[in-house]
Structure 1
Amino acid sequence: MTDHASASRRSVGILLPEETFRRVFGQVDLQRLESHPALRLLADRPLRIDAQDAALLSEVEILVTGWGSPVLDAALLDEIPALRAIAHSAGTVRTLVTDEVYRRGIAVSSSASVNAIPVAEFTVALIVLGAKRAFWAAQRLREGAAEIDLEGSWPAVGIRSRTVGIIGASSVGRLVIERLRAFDLDVVLADPTLTPAQARELGVALVPLPELMERSDIISLHAPLLPSTSRMIDRELLRRMRPGTTFVNTARGELVDQDALADRLDDGDVTALLDVAEEEPLPLGSRLRTHPHAFLTPHIAGSVGTELGRLSAHAVDEVISFATTGTFAEEISASTFSLRA
């Protein structure tokens, strides 16, 4: 390759914990970074923030990050002076992108859109199983019940003709709405950022959050975690849930007042299916952890196992997009950071 061609290529560096790199990046996507004519992969391994890799860091123009990457503050950015873009091979970038990144004009992208896919799939599975009272029935079996009367024990059982309330038209929320079209049910949405016309385009009715809590048989939470949404699902809203309601949270535990939720579950007429918690893992003494009307999973709705390949493929796609066009296909701007990050 000529010097001119080499100079036209964008230098790419990977800044990930070694364990995360091995989990997420397969040989196919690493080979794409190594072989693309618009890229120059500086090392086929994660770079270290030390004297040994200082020279390589100083050349990085496009940085690939992911779970466990260090915070990109002013001190670290000074060690990467050529940096022009960050392609995050995971969902939220809140844990590593600082205001300094945007002050320096560095473009940011994440793989949140593809990480939303397994979350939506998992959520829909919980909605269907929750409507069937599958987790309650499984618990009764474990307790040794000889007969299980689903229909006699709950106000309603089954997914047909039920109302599902979606809180938040996020990437996950929209995918859940899309997938629920395959079912014979009604969907209502609460999201203060949408107009009724925009909701109709999604095929749902826009309603105030208190009304959603009262009308829905199944409630699924997909709001972003912001100062204004912390513990947004409070005691008063939880009290609005009618008997038989199933509450699903695959978003963030901090969106819910957990003590208030535990109190509502104590009434014995609602259930909660929770993949996230305010503190993870929940302490052994937590009421939610052992509550007979709560079903908990350890934050597994997002990409795991074979699903991780989507993250690396998307990050490489974004690296190639920036190298060839000067922009990301799914850029997170400073103005949209609070909602999309």
Structure 2
Amino acid sequence: MRTILVQIPHDQIELFFTDESLEGIHQLGNIIWNPHHRPFTEQELCEHIQGVDTVITTWRSAPISEEVLKHADQLKLIAHMAGSVKPILPTLDVYRRGIRVLNSNYAIGVSVSESVLALILALGHKIIPVNKEMGTGRNAKSAVYETYELRGRTVGLIGLGMVAREVIKLLQPFGVKLLGCDPFVSAEQAQEWNVELKPLHDVIAESHIVSLHAPKVPETYQMIGHKELSLLRDGALLINTARGDLIDEAALIEELRKKRFYAGLDVFIVEPLSADSELRHMDNVIVRPHLAGVNPDSRLRIGTLMVQELQQFYNNGPLRFEVKESQLAIMT
């Protein structure tokens, strides 16, 4: 009988699994649950992984290191029930050994895409400043607080990965024009998504709303700096739910002080965002503490989709969420 090792801390199991998905995973084989209310240490993982076919990981799980692989004599699959799988794979030896890798980006990306839309609408409709003004007892019905409609705008997507494609679906009812920048996407693919590919600076300059979805790789480090920020239209909206390193944060703060555009930020160079960060107090900024993708619904979606994917794997079916070695380098 196959054996599945679940690294998720015992007190978090109900956050990820419904009764139905729990029943489904138990039907797959012998399940070894993490008995602790904390992640396994590397040593504990080494002790448990011998004879295991599949290991399930999540946030803060012990990585599948070279030392762990020495003990993983039967391992065929790593199923990561969290965001980026990169922290779990400090070595590419898993691919050399023929071990396959699954990720939960799609389950989380659905929530991230909703957060992108929420930030666009909240900024455009000035929800937070209007609410603050109303809280003072004054009337916020003035030209300063009039709505900036999403309908018919040009939206620029920097990176056209899975989250961006979910954003595209949500934007369809608003009749927006879509521009995109992604070196890994062909013109034919972009056309399927109704996106016009353009160089980075053109996308920024021509868009009313710019949303960042590029991965964190050396090539994208601070790709949005003074020059790029200066290209934003007056009144534009800049959304970042990807990675804080994509933006030169000092340049962003300097440009936001001019109150020329608005920003919705869920990620930062250093997290958590420092208590004294100026970004916390700017009235043309919405800040969130990296919350875009994780909520009760997305955690349960992760569990449900991962059990379905495991069923496919053990039945030799096609996998929706496999991460190939070639994909890993360009993942967020």
Alignment partner, residue 146 of structure 1: 139
Matched, 1:318 2:309: yes
Q: Which runs of 5+ in 2 are unaligned?
A: none
Matched, 1:109 2:102: yes
Alignment partner, residue 3 of structure 1: none
Task: Indicate how the Cα distance of structure 1 residues 166 and 298 shifts in structure 2: closer, same or farther if over 3 A, else same.
Answer: same
Alignment partner, residue 275 of structure 2: 284
Q: Assess if the C-alpha contact under 8 Å between 1:245 and 1:270 holds in 2.
A: yes
Alignment partner, residue 307 of structure 1: 298
Total equivalences in the alignment? 329
2:148 alignment partner, one of 139, 148, 157: 157
Q: Assess if the C-alpha contact under 8 Å between 1:166 and 1:173 holds in 2.
A: yes
- The one-letter amino acid paired with 2:58 is G
SS in 2 for 1:311: helix
Alignment partner, residue 69 of structure 2: 77
Kindly state the Cα deviation for residue 53 of structure 1 after the two structures are TM-superposed.
7.9
Q: 1: CA distance between counterparts of 2:56 and 2:20? A: 16
Task: Indicate how the Cα distance of structure 1 residues 131 and 292 shifts in structure 2: closer, same or farther if over 3 A, else same.
Answer: closer
Q: 2: CA distance between counterparts of 1:187 and 1:326? A: 35
Alignment partner, residue 31 of structure 2: 41
| Cα offsets for 1:54-78 (capped at 9, x unmatched) | 6652111111111111111111122
RMSD over aligned Cα atoms: 2.4
Task: Indicate how the Cα distance of structure 1 residues 266 and 53 shifts in structure 2: closer, same or farther if over 3 A, else same.
Answer: closer
Which sits farther off after the overlay, 197-206 or 237-246?
A: 197-206
Instruction: For 1:233-272, list aligned pairs within 5 A.
Output: 233-272=224-263
Kindly state the Cα deviation for residue 135 of structure 1 after the two structures are TM-superposed.
2.9
Matched, 1:128 2:118: no
Kindly state the Cα deviation for residue 324 of structure 1 after the two structures are TM-superposed.
1.7
Q: Assess if the C-alpha contact under 8 Å between 1:321 and 1:329 holds in 2.
A: no
> Could you tell me the TM-score, scaled by structure 1's length?
0.88
Task: Indicate how the Cα distance of structure 1 residues 224 and 24 shifts in structure 2: closer, same or farther if over 3 A, else same.
Answer: same
Q: Assess if the C-alpha contact under 8 Å between 1:17 and 1:68 holds in 2.
A: no
- The one-letter amino acid paired with 1:32 is G
- The one-letter amino acid paired with 1:106 is I
The higher radius of gyration belongs to 1
Matched, 1:174 2:147: no
- The one-letter amino acid paired with 2:104 is S
Q: 2: CA distance between counterparts of 1:53 and 1:292? A: 47
Kindly state the Cα deviation for residue 121 of structure 1 after the two structures are TM-superposed.
1.2
Between the aligned residues of both structures, percent identity stands at: 30
Alignment partner, residue 5 of structure 1: none
Matched, 1:91 2:83: yes
Q: Assess if the C-alpha contact under 8 Å between 2:5 and 2:56 holds in 1.
A: yes
